[in-house]
């Protein structure tokens, strides 16, 4: 997903996620967050819940003691704005009961 401002389809985001999972796990966490957001916004609560869980699993493998360690590397993914920092607390705060 090179154009970060274009709204990507969920299928395109899923393809990006699979590629990133093998090459850049932080980018995969950001894309999982975007997928959770897109599915939630589309009303697909079950898929959103699954992407929240995936995002949290990936984030568990990263240190998050400093802002630098939790800072996102992109402003948006597939048209979904990312928070400035990505860690468990942010994900749980954004998704509430879905987390």
Query: Would you say residue 4 lies in a domain?
Result: no
- Which residue range forms the structural domain that includes residue 94? 10-98
Selection from 10, 23, 88 nearest residue 53 by Cα:
88
In a domain, 3, yes or no: no
Residue 78: closest CA among 39, 47, 49, 50: 39
- Taking a C-beta distance cutoff of 8 angstroms, is the pair 74, 12 a contact? no
Query: Would you say residue 5 lies in a domain?
Result: no
Q: What is the value of pTM for the model shown? A: 0.92
Predicted confidence (pLDDT) per residue in 5-14, tens digit: 578 999 999 9
Q: Is the pLDDT of residue 89 over 90?
A: yes
**Quick one: pLDDT at residue 1?**
46
Residues 6+ positions from 18 with CB-CB distance below 8 Å = none
Summarised one tens digit per residue, pLDDT across range 35-88 is: 999 999 999 999 999 999 999 999 999 998 889 999 999 999 999 999 999 999
Cβ-contact 2, 77 below 8 angstroms: no
């Amino acid at each position: 997903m090179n154009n970060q401002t274009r709204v990507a389809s969920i299928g395109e985001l899923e393809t990006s996620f699979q590629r990133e999972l093998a090459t850049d796990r932080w980018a995969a966490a950001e894309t999982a967050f975007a997928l959770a957001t897109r599915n939630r916004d589309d009303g697909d609560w079950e898929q959103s819940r699954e992407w929240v869980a995936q995002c949290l699993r990936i984030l568990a493998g990263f240190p998050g003691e400093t802002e630098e360690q939790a800072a996102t590397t992109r402003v948006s993914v597939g048209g979904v704005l990312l928070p400035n920092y990505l860690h468990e607390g942010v994900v749980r705060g954004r998704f509430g009961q879905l987390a």
